[in-house]
Amino acid sequence: MFSLGLVIVVVILALIFDYINGFHDTANAIATSVSTKALSPRNAILIAASLNFMGALSGTAVAATIGKSIVMPELVTPLVIIAALIGAIFWNLFTWYFGIPSSSSHALIGGLTGAVIAGFGAAQVNWQGFIKIFSGLLIAPVVGLIVGSLFMTVLFWMFRRSSPAKTNQGFRKLQILSACMASFAHGSNDAQKSMGIITMVLVGGGFLTTFNVPLWVKICCALAMAAGTAMGGWKIIRTMGGKIFRIEPINGFAADFTSSVVIYCASLMGAPVSTTHVVSSSIMGVGAAKRLKGVRWNIARQIVIAWFVTIPSAALVAMLFYKLISFFI
């Protein structure tokens, strides 16, 4: 049994993580729409915040995966969760400061893994569950890359006889729809990760008898992510919206539509994916279909490096914080 005070600390940290995740990953849904001027920054953020909130309330399958797959129930101590969340929060803020579109999902999973290793040893990590989640995190961006490229190719073929100006004018309007889809999909996957963390602690502390996400947890996490989204993440928006390649409305629609479908399908299957990775890989795929040399592969390379660095970095920070907190307790 945990004290109510420790559980409250965990809940607050989880909501802070959700808030940071909101402004860190806002770019996932609105970067292309803002860069093509389909939406003003203000309207884009309002749409993203609202649809993120609705998406966060749409299900709990991802929360169940996070809550049951990496950490054994008997190892869910407040100290483990606190260290894991601090590791994830630190890495999110670090990458946000430098405008690097890294994965909040990778950061959280790395933090959980590092905290368990620091507290109980590597043998106590549920590696089978970790590999299952990690496989999904790796597969989803590849799917986004391939589907984005194929979808863009199909659109080019369909509108090959239409004038570029007329085509882009039509797709600029359609980008509003695709931004809504991307925002809803983002909320459906990312907000559930904090729901899983909070519910995990409530079960471990004896406040719940079964892993069933309470309504108040859903609402709190949805509100935290929506509030963070409303803050905006302009450094990452600049990277996602223009530094990978020069995005036109038809490209932005293709990237947003592709990523929203991939992410929401993952949410329905209970697979926690990196929305950042899926969106950025979709943009790369769309850009490659348009013109292979038009993609700024040096920027893309920096993003890919961040993908692989995030889990071990967040794990290391979580391990250090676990040892530091243990020293003072």
Q: Rounding to the nearest 10 degrees, give the CA dihedral for residues 277, 282, 287, 292.
A: 80
pLDDT the model gives residue 14: 92
Among 20-34, 193-207, 215-229, the minimum mean pLDDT is found in 20-34
> What pLDDT digit, counting tens, does each position of 27-67 carry?
667 777 877 788 887 788 888 888 888 988 887 888 888 77
Q: What is the mean pLDDT of residues 76-97?
A: 88
34 vs 113 pLDDT, higher one: 113
* Mean pLDDT (the chain, rounded): 83
User: Among all chains, which residue has been given the structure tokens 């290793």?
Assistant: 117
pLDDT the model gives residue 11: 92
Give the separation between CA 200 and CA 246, rounded to whole angstroms.
43
pLDDT the model gives residue 234: 58
Give the separation between CA 100 and CA 307, rounded to whole angstroms.
10
> What pLDDT digit, counting tens, does each position of 242-286 carry?
555 567 889 889 989 999 999 999 888 888 888 877 888 888 888
DSSP-based three-state secondary structure for 207: coil
Return the percentage of the chain with pLDDT > 90, whole number: 22
